Chain A
Amino acid sequence: MSEYLHSVSLDRSKCTGCTTCLKRCPTEAIRIRHNSASIIHERCIDCGECIKVCPHHAKVALTDPIDVIKGFKYAIALPAPTLYAQFQGVHKPEPIIAALLRLGFDDVFEVARAAEIVSYAISKALREQDRPKPVISSACPAVLRLIQIHFPALLDNVIDFISPMEAAAKIAKEEYARKHGVDIAEVGAFFISPCAAKMTAVKSPIGQQKSYVDGVIAIKDVYKDMRAAMHKGFDPVEIERASTVGIKWAVPGGEADALGIKSSLCVDGIENVKNVLEQIENARIRNLMYFEGLACVNGCLGGPLTVENSFVAKNRLRSVMSRTEQKSVQRTKIFETACETLRMTEEIEPNNSMQLEGTMKERIAMSERINEIEKSLPGLDCGSCGSPTCRALAWDIAHGFANELNCIFKMNARINALAAEMVTLGTSTRFNTLQDSARLREMRQELRADDDTV
């Protein structure tokens, strides 16, 4: 976990340092310094909030270009169910699957199909005794990272199964290699993604040594070409198809619904998820079996790499589902083996980047300093200093990342005080003049020095 690779990053040439993203970051991972945002990588959970709110499109998600599939002899597309809701006038998956094949993929494996298998495995695992309740879904990678940072006490509650995307890559590659008698190393699986955090989840996986996915391609990057491919009409597609059980994972509450759990709670929107996890941590929600937290409003349909408005997409997906098989039609053998093979192999470690360092004594001393500094700040949480809250600025000052005069109120007070002093000096007697001009020089230097550190 020492090395982080992040999908969410900054295009410095577009950033104006406007602070819009600053206050929306759920892990206080953004600072504005020298008129530009910067991301504290240890804290970023790739939720994509900053991408969604940035008025200058300076926050971007790094994903793979479509050419990535050329690195493998055989390429399989793994469309997220969200993809089925992106195209106006398209109310079934067939043309979409056909369009993917036209883009150069050799095969398509619906992530929704894997979601059905994962649903089965999870619902069986939920019957195991001594699991701390509520069991928390592992599907949303941004929420997983949020738990690592903010709610480490809840890590034991997270279900120890890999996500449908991972399961799809694993099963798709195995099936393809077996069916066509080729070496599995020559088969690449590529996720067609609504989500920036999935890219990070592939590069720095949680709960697995290595991801089964070989590339993550943004929906918005293939949208145009797929649209064009669809206009050309299509031949019938012969692949094993997903039912609504898997497709509805794209909609909030769909996962719990697929698991058939009555006592479940689904929350979408990262701030909402944070609030409810807080309640769960305080044991304020009783008799809850399953918690599904989704970083984006409207779940994966609201992902930062989508094209369609998420509410419109939700409606369209409902229409897609009404034309799809309602029950899973897959072989039960995959389902049974999945209960073991799709388990996570690694522990999910807490992320301590929002904790103080050192011995308990040092941490207490540092905390005391931060509290003191915070009390001296105005408490308006205006963000003008470049830190999201006064408390965050206090932390930054105590760690030497900022100074008190980053606060515009402090700066203002300081300028007023210096101005008043200058007036006094200006009206002073000739007797003091020599001494005073020395003081004036000093003050000028002081101001300049402050300016340098800012």
Chain B
Amino acid sequence: MIIKETYPVAADDMSVAGDVSASIKRQMKRLGIPNQIMRRVSVCTYEAEINLVIHSDGGEIDFAISEDEICVHVRDVGPGIPDLDKAMTEGFSTATSEVRNMGFGAGMGLPNMKRNADGFAITSEVGKGTDIVMTFNI
């Protein structure tokens, strides 16, 4: 048995950023996912959602739960990350000062996601988009 939901995330609209991760959290609360796990998943989905809004040209987040695992699949339609190693370094950010002034873009997003997930895989191609799969053991 598995639940899978797909949530679209539009680029640039900061006013709704956080809605998708809130919906995902509501699902987890209803299912009674243990707090520790829920917290980590929430951090990751929130970071991913903010990334999609700030950096991407729009994308989607898949959220799936089975009996023993939660899987969060994030993908966008561009622009792609030129240097993945650099993007995975803490403190590295390409965010504009405008975004930084809003308290985002500290260069902690991707490293933070990797740290909080049990499994983390990222691929990216410039001009095509970025694809992240995160898994969490229940």
Give me the interface of A with B, judged by CB distance under 8 Å. 150, 152-153, 278, 281-284, 352, 354-356, 360-361, 363-365, 367-368, 370-371
Contact = CB atoms under 8 A, between A and B. Distances in A.
A150 B5 CA distance: 22
Nearest to A278: B22
Most buried by A among B27, B31, B32: B32
8 contacts: A150-B29, A153-B35, A281-B39, A282-B18, A282-B46, A352-B32, A355-B31, A367-B30
Contact of A282 (B3, B43, B65): B43
Interface in B22-74: 22, 25, 27, 29-32, 35, 38-39, 42-43, 46, 65-68
Nearest to A365: B1
A367 B27 contact: yes
B35 A363 contact: no
Interface residues of B, number: 24
Nearest to B27: A367
Nearest to B2: A364
A356 B3 contact: no
Secondary structure dominating the interface of B:
helix
B21 A282 contact: yes
Nearest to B32: A355
Contacts of B25: 282
B29 A355 contact: yes
B31 A153 contact: no
Contact of B30 (A278, A282, A355): A355
Nearest to A152: B35
Nearest to B68: A360
A239 to B, nearest CB: 45
Contacts of B38: 153
B22 A361 contact: no
Nearest to B5: A371
Contacts of B3: 364, 367-368, 371
Contact of B1 (A153, A282, A356, A368): A368
Contacts of A370: 30
A397 B96 CA distance: 48
B30 A281 contact: no
Contacts of B27: 367
Contact of B66 (A278, A281, A364): A364
A284 B39 CA distance: 12
Contacts of B68: 360
A354 B2 contact: no
A283 B31 contact: no
Contacts of A281: 39, 42
B99 interface: no
Nearest to A154: B35
Most buried by A among B27, B29, B46: B29
A356 B35 contact: no
B138 interface: yes
